[in-house]
């Protein structure tokens, strides 16, 4: 078994949002990776630039951050050749590791564009090293930048940051310093291909919280009205919990709810609605036991949300 610590650099068009008729938002222009053994010793390196096929000019922010010009890519191999080389280098059954949750999703989106078979037909586990570092070293599990983590762990900075290989190299160094078994139990899950049916849905228990990844639905309404999605019961004892706060969307990016188990106390429920590549809807839902003070905070946020919604409705009359 090998760990593959991966980092990507990508270019984009003028907008960072999906553009109608534009199949890619981010086009990969560099793949960097470090291979680690089962005991997390470095055994291999991968670094290759990619010749762009979609965006013919370099976005000014991409050029500023990674100091790479479009002319430097014109003689490189196109993505299908690079990804074939990379996956062959990874070997069988690799465990992928990334700094943050986005790289594997965007890698598979680029693979999909070229009709290349995805990394998996459904969700698969990987290590988000940024999350692992936050769990083991940061108070309140706060996520930090890669260079901040490197400084905190006093890792020697012997190559520059902000290129694919160098960031993979430093992420691998950080990953090798994650020591606790209870931290390493916190896998993340890539959902580029969500579960296809009820039988393949995932219900995962992480000790202090659980995660549910649903199958896809035709509409958001079908998703929200599904019994499992609405379930607010205790994930520890499976007993019925009293709903304290109905689902509301404080930021528009997710729904938040609150229930209370007589045995285990308050339970925060967060429901993130995602859209699959084929235009269907699914959810990544978490339930977590929280303190009374955190529960009060959710109740107050729900009240503010309700009052603000009423104010806006009255202003429109």
- Residue 276 CA, distance from chain mean position: 14
Q: Report helix, strand or coil for 315.
A: helix
3-state helix, strand, coil in the chain (%, to 5): 35, 30, 40
Looking at residue 140, what is its pLDDT?
80
Handedness of CA 109, 112, 116, 122 (dihedral sign): positive
The pTM score is: 0.89
Q: Are 123 and 190 in contact (CB under 8 A)?
A: yes
Handedness of CA 56, 60, 65, 68 (dihedral sign): positive
- 256-279 core/surface letters (b: 16 or more CB in 10 A; e: else): bbbbbbeeeebbbbbbebeeeeee
Looking at residue 251, what is its pLDDT?
82
Rounded Cα gap, residues 176 and 42, in angstroms: 9
Looking at residue 244, what is its pLDDT?
96
Task: Name the band, by pLDDT with cuts 50, 70 and 90, for residue 269.
Answer: very high
Residues in the chain: 317
Q: Return the closest-CA partner of residue 201 out of 102, 93, 95, 284.
A: 284
- By percentage, how much of the chain surpasses pLDDT 90? 79
Mean pLDDT of 94-119: 96
Q: Return the closest-CA partner of residue 132 out of 94, 184, 210.
A: 184
- 34-63 core/surface letters (b: 16 or more CB in 10 A; e: else): bbbeeebeeeeebbbbbebebbeebbeebe
Which of 34-43, 62-71, 81-90 has the least mean pLDDT? 62-71
Sheet holding 209-213, edge to edge: 202-205, 209-213, 281-290, 265-275, 255-261, 242-248
Mean pLDDT of 240-254: 91
Q: Are 201 and 229 in contact (CB under 8 A)?
A: no
Mean pLDDT of 115-138: 96
Q: Are 113 and 19 in contact (CB under 8 A)?
A: no
Handedness of CA 3, 108, 100, 195 (dihedral sign): negative
| Domain edges within the chain | 3-184, 198-316
Q: Where are the alpha helices (DSSP H) in the chain?
A: 60-66, 79-90, 103-113, 129-137, 146-152, 164-175, 181-184, 220-224, 227-230, 292-316
Task: Name the band, by pLDDT with cuts 50, 70 and 90, for residue 14.
Answer: low
Q: Report helix, strand or coil for 312.
A: helix
Specify the higher pLDDT residue, 67 or 137: 137
Number of C-alpha atoms within 13 angstroms, CB side, residue 60? 2
Task: Name the band, by pLDDT with cuts 50, 70 and 90, for residue 111.
Answer: very high
Looking at residue 17, what is its pLDDT?
57
Looking at residue 167, what is its pLDDT?
97
Model confidence pLDDT, tens digit, residues 189-220: 999 999 999 999 999 999 889 999 999 999 99
Rounded Cα gap, residues 277 and 265, in angstroms: 38
Q: What is the mean pLDDT of the chain?
A: 93
Architecture of domain 3-184: 2-Layer Sandwich (3.30)
Looking at residue 43, what is its pLDDT?
97
């Amino acid at each position: 078994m090998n760990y593959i610590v991966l980092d990507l650099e990508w270019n984009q068009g003028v907008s960072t949002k999906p553009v109608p008729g534009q199949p890619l938002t981010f086009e990969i222009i560099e793949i960097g990776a470090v291979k680690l053994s089962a005991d997390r010793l470095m055994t291999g390196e991968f670094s290759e630039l990619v010749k762009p096929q979609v965006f013919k000019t370099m976005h000014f922010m991409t050029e500023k951050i990674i100091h790479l010009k479009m002319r430097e890519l014109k003689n490189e191999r196109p993505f299908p050749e690079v990804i074939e080389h990379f996956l062959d280098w990874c070997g069988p059954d690799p465990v992928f590791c990334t700094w943050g949750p986005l790289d594997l999703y965007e890698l598979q989106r680029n693979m999909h564009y070229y009709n290349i078979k995805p990394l998996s037909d459904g969700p698969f586990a990987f290590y988000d090293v940024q999350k692992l570092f936050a769990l083991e070293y940061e108070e309140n599990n706060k996520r930090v930048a890669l260079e901040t983590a490197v400084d905190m762990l006093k890792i020697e900075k012997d190559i520059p940051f902000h290129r694919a290989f160098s960031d993979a190299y430093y992420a691998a160094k950080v990953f090798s310093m994650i020591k606790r078994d209870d931290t390493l139990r916190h896998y993340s899950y890539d959902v580029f291909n969500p579960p296809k049916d009820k039988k393949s849905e995932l219900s995962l228990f992480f000790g202090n919280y659980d995660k549910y990844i649903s199958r896809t639905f035709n509409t958001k309404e079908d998703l929200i009205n599904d019994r499992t999605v609405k379930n607010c019961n205790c994930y520890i004892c499976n007993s019925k919990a009293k709903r304290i706060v109905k689902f509301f969307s404080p930021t528009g990016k997710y729904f938040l709810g609150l229930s209370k188990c007589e045995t285990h106390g308050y339970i925060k429920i967060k429901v993130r609605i995602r859209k699959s590549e084929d235009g269907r809807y699914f959810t990544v839902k978490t339930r977590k036991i929280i303190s009374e003070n955190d529960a009060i905070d959710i109740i107050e946020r729900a009240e503010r949300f309700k009052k603000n919604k009423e104010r806006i409705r009255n202003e429109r009359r």
